[in-house]
Amino acid sequence: MSTKEHKKYPYLLKGLKITHKNQVWATDITYIPMAKGFMYLTAIIDLHTRFVLNWSVSNTMSADWCADILQETIQKYGVPEIFNTDQGSQYTSEVHTNVLLNNEIKISMDGKGRAIDNIFIERLWRTVKYENVYLQAYTDGISLYRGLKDYFEFYNTRRIHQSLDYGTPYNNYYKKEVA
């Protein structure tokens, strides 16, 4: 990687009313403790519906990994208007920002050190860890993947959210929009 500073983008969500699916997607990476070491988990969520569009685990957190997950998500769900991240090197890298720019997606980045700017994904991490990861004590990547696959299926389709009028992310993402 060159020593050239990666471009940072402004935070576009301040004061924004999020009114429909695919208006804003957000992503982040978190550490998952394992019996020996840790793994990384990334997810992309739709902020309006809290639907986890895609997720992945890895033993490295490269820009290519993040860009690949983003490209997979775009291929399956289309494009959001805005994509919000922190200022991590994976997200400021050309490989990642080019996926967004080539798809004409507005790039939004949290203020430096402001996790509250990406509060919905931070809440997701807390929920995933307290409802699954800390209870399971995964010992290897395969069991982690299988456990998270089951958990995200539960989270999207059966876990109700007060903020969604006690509905699930899946039902809110796939409900018919009123014309």
pLDDT in tens, 60-112: 999 999 999 999 999 999 999 999 999 989 999 999 999 999 999 999 998 76
Q: What pLDDT does 2 receive?
A: 47
Q: Return mean pLDDT, the chain.
A: 90
CB 90 within 8 A of CB 31: no
**Rounded Cα–Cα distance for residues 75 and 42 (Å):** 17
Architecture field, domain 24-174: 2-Layer Sandwich (3.30)
In this structure, what are the phi and psi dihedrals at residue 15, rounded to the nearest 5 degrees? 75, 0
Residues 111-150: pLDDT tens digits? 765 556 677 888 999 999 999 999 998 999 999 999 999 9
Check if the beta carbon of residue 108 is closer than 8 Å to that of residue 75.
no
Q: Which two tokens stand for residue 40?
A: 């990384």
- Where do the domains of the chain lie? 24-174
The separation between CA 140 and the C-alpha centre of its own chain, rounded to angstroms, equals: 22
Span 3-33, pLDDT tens digits: 456 788 999 999 999 999 999 999 999 999 9
Q: Mean pLDDT, to the nearest integer, of 166-178?
A: 81
pTM: 0.90
